[in-house]
Structure 1
Amino acid sequence: MAMHTDNEITIDAPLGEVWRTANDVRSWPQLFDSEYAEAEILEEAPGRVVFRLTTVPGPRGVRRSWVSERLMDAERHTVHARRVETGPFLYMHIFQSFEETGSGGTRLRWVQDFEVLPEAPFDDAQMAERINTNSRHQLARHKAVIEAAVTHV
């Protein structure tokens, strides 16, 4: 069954800074809290990046890895991404938007649409819960990292 998650946060930083930081895939091991051990760029062109993410070891010491593609529209401040190597998903599509707020901040929104494979060790609803929990945590991490960087400039 198709699932949809939608999470957002307002970051007290200019749109350009949030856009630049959130789209710097090479820095994701530092930007995301205890999630990615490596981010390897496989292909890169203006507005497009294909990359391999490798997670930090999980509770049983297992590291996961997959390839994703990210299409960045700098004019509209939107991103469309997808897993190329889908792993336990039938598909995983991600939409991100970056919107200036009236107070000089930026609203960062993450939307994920997906279905898990029937043989996955979890169902769609369980994955949606995991994604929502992790998205809220990682968005808060983005806020903390970006706001700290802006105040030290």
Structure 2
Amino acid sequence: MGYIRNTVLITAPVDEVMRLTNNVRIWPSLFTEYESSEVLEEEADCVTFQLTTRPNEQGEQYSWIARRKTDRARRATISERMPSSGPFEHMIIRWWYDPVEKDCTAMTWEQEFAIKADVSLTEEAATNYLNKQTRIQQQAIKAKVESLCMQQTKGSETKLYHGIVISRLLHPDNAEKIATAFRRSDATELPHLAGVKSRRIWIQGDLCLHLIEAKSPIPTILRDYAGHPLLKTIQSEVDSYVELVYPGTQANALEIYRWDNTQPD
């Protein structure tokens, strides 16, 4: 049985580190080795997903299915990799997150694995390879998470832009589906990448009003991130629940009057 364990210190709050890194949907943008991550089945604190690697120097890609369970009380996860392509007969991966200081997190990965009998790869070679790759990926994730959290902190004093999307529900039951879709999307890194600071969604009759507050004009965000898989996913899902009232110009609403009550209570 092979075994490795590696820890990296990330300068960011522990719950934010766990929220970002525990979302398997965004792993291709956090890890440098994964080309795609597809969720196959999901329930409370358990997700089954398929990972596909980027091509290596020989043009080879590997894909496998894993089931990941989350223990939020302990801030830990355990994943079991199903036998598939690649050299491993099985692999169990444990992650846990520990606060070191207020804004510093120790993220630890532990892996236990066994190699397929018909593979010409020694346990020592596999251990050395996994140790090397794990350290590379942990450093890549550290840099990405720290950058995202720093942008979020600095953004608190940045000028904000507002946009509104007005659409019509295709079915009354779609209101909760829309809320669920955005709740899932906002748990990813997409809002941080796009500079979205807040959103409010109201339903009145069959109308859906979606107000967005961001660090850039909404049309600019839609243009710059049009090809991002996370934005394409949320747009595709929500588009199946509504039809836009003003297609093409929904984010260009003109504010003609504003009043803020600045008098003390």
Superposed counterparts of 1:78-93, under 5 Å: 78-87=76-85, 88-93=87-92
Shift of 1:90: 2.3
1:27 aligns with 2:26: yes
Q: Which one-letter code corresponds to 2:16 in the other structure?
A: E
| Cα deviation code 1:38-77 (max 9, x no counterpart) | 1000001111010000111111111111100100111110
Distance 1:26 1:108 in 2: 19
User: Which is richer in strand?
Assistant: 1
User: Which has the greater radius of gyration?
Assistant: 2
Q: Which one-letter code corresponds to 1:151 in the other structure?
A: M
Secondary structure of the corresponding residue to residue 76 of structure 1? coil
Q: Paired residue for 2:54?
A: 56
Q: Paired residue for 1:7?
A: 6
Q: Which one-letter code corresponds to 2:128 in the other structure?
A: E
Q: Paired residue for 2:97?
A: 98
Q: Which one-letter code corresponds to 2:78 in the other structure?
A: H
TM-score by length of 1: 0.95
Instruction: Check conservation: 2:68, 2:77, Cα contact below 8 A.
Output: yes
Q: Which one-letter code corresponds to 1:84 in the other structure?
A: M
Shift of 1:102: 2.5
Gaps of 5+ in 2: 153-265
Q: Paired residue for 1:47?
A: 45
Q: Paired residue for 1:118?
A: 117
Higher RCO (Cα < 8 Å, 6 or more apart)? 1
Q: Which one-letter code corresponds to 1:21 in the other structure?
A: L
| Cα deviation code 1:62-100 (max 9, x no counterpart) | 111110010011111011101023442222010111000
Secondary structure of the corresponding residue to residue 85 of structure 1? coil
Shift of 1:151: 0.6
Q: Which one-letter code corresponds to 1:24 in the other structure?
A: N
Q: Paired residue for 2:74?
A: 76
Aligned-residue identity in percent: 31
Aligned Cα RMSD in Å? 1.1
Distance 1:86 1:38 in 2: 16
Secondary structure of the corresponding residue to residue 137 of structure 2? helix
Using a 3 Å threshold, how does the CA distance of structure 1 residues 68 and 37 change in structure 2: closer, same or farther? same
Distance 1:9 1:138 in 2: 10
**Count of aligned positions:** 151
Gaps of 5+ in 1: none
TM-score by length of 2: 0.55
| Cα deviation code 1:108-131 (max 9, x no counterpart) | 000000110121131111111110
Show structure 1 runs of 4+ deviating over 3 A: none
Distance 2:52 2:89 in 1: 19
Instruction: Check conservation: 1:68, 1:85, Cα contact below 8 A.
Output: no
Secondary structure of the corresponding residue to residue 9 of structure 1? strand
- Select between 3-12 and 96-105 the one with higher mean Cα deviation: 96-105
Secondary structure of the corresponding residue to residue 58 of structure 1? coil
- Select between 118-127 and 85-94 the one with higher mean Cα deviation: 85-94
Distance 1:39 1:58 in 2: 17
- Select between 11-20 and 88-97 the one with higher mean Cα deviation: 88-97
Instruction: Check conservation: 1:86, 1:92, Cα contact below 8 A.
Output: no
Using a 3 Å threshold, how does the CA distance of structure 1 residues 118 and 85 change in structure 2: closer, same or farther? closer
